[in-house]
Structure 1
């Protein structure tokens, strides 16, 4: 039986004035809406106890499995208010499918796609007032579905009780002062994921393990870190939380192939489609770090960017490593900005949704 996530409304919703105050300067992931969607999975009975309830803390026993064995996965997507006031989601089915894939890898129960969609949509409807106007094109309601092992026991096995939830947070433009290229540190000391590991799953451990390299990069004036493959460090993989793409002088858009160690980004997939619409040739293949650096230095790679839900596209100014720096450019590339605008225009209803990606909620 499908879940319905009925609403139990909060008795103390934020005032319209407070919501407007937050919308004026929301930051990213700082403020949260009045409600959250929740459900519980129990071995033997499956999913149930679904509802949209007032936002609040979980009460966890000190022996709760997730605190000891990190059995958890999550997703990230956004709701967008259109010019007519309606609210839409961007390719939420792909997030639902990716959550299922992540759950399989972490030995968590799979939430059916329709139940995922219902949970997100019911929360957005309950807290529709929290979805900001576009404010020039990039304000939105960020949605964070997640599930975790919520059984009290100390033992290395898959949990028999799992909690699922969706929380929401209004967010402003990622680049509040305009899109600015960033410097990328290429670490030769740390790896993000290895063959057979959890690189293709969206789980917290992947992000926790990338933090040390992120701080290493900060010491070299970089805001993001790029990883090579585990072991050899030769092949390009991804950043700590984003996929990487480069544009060549002959019109190729190259991104590392999905080899089981790279997260299959929804934005990544969308960009590959939109790039073809714009006349670029999308190429997914193994590409070495040395090839990128050599072709940047030779002027054959003229643009580079990272991509993900939060920023859509983040232009790369230069790649820095212990062996030297490789400068792409101080300004965002023309193709980079064309792709970025094309994605945003679909999300905010400023362009036709020719690929059927948008799903109306309100």
Structure 2
């Protein structure tokens, strides 16, 4: 008799057992025949005192087999050992759009068709590929806007959530770009980007309603802002928006990701009487240690960056040195006599800025992080 699927009666206690024997034992325990054209070489040593249900054991075994580029796919009548490269052509469970997943496990590999209403599927394919597991694959529907993804259900659901976050109700010419973050807090950077270039910064739109004889507010134009979403599992920042604003956001991310430069802060100046590009050029010429617009490499890591947002006539200044930032601040106050901030020009006062503290992530090599934390606190 086969034990109930919910019974915790499986344990992993292998010490130098060949992978082929492990797979065969699992199939015997599941009381299902095994189809395997090839079996991975090597031996497995894995001991866990915890008991597993059948579903948990299958997912755990597949995590182990992933290191060998294969996985066990469950069928109603048998278990099949499938190489990752053959998964797209394997008859897996098919999920479509918003259909319920039923009893599909998060670790189970399925094929899903995801709608992408206002996203160019071909354009975002490269961006999403980095978020797939080593068992995953992605293809674009030949007609219409949609994606065919084969991967573990948990991964597909993360991508689906991401697409929902960046989708808009109106079609627009928007680009998708991803960045793998190494040295900064993704949540903090995403929040900064959304506050600096996000929907709240889009120009207000109104139209006349002939029925009510009044002006009514319209939703922001998707071509006027970006959406930043951070995927913690893959440490990937996803930007979605117009190309020119993504380019500005990319410069800001580069400043955060500087590995060799010390942390500083970022200031945003709302200019009134001077064009952003002209003032940025003046700053680069007048103050030493300010990087050129396209300057990269180790030489630029310790320099300040001045980013000109032409559309909103803003300057975004990031500097690792407080004294240098004060020099830039003083120069801007002398050249531009306007007012900064989120609201209109109410008084002719010195420039005020929005300041955002930079956060960097340090990975100690020879000391426990908690020991460093005690010293700093």
TM-score normalised to structure 2 length: 0.23
TM-score normalised to structure 1 length: 0.24
Which structure exhibits the higher relative contact order, with contacts defined as CA atoms closer than 8 Å and separated by 6 or more residues?
A: 1
Q: Of Structure 1 and Structure 2, which has the larger fraction of its residues in helix?
A: 2
Return the index of the structure with the highest Cα Rg. Answer: 2
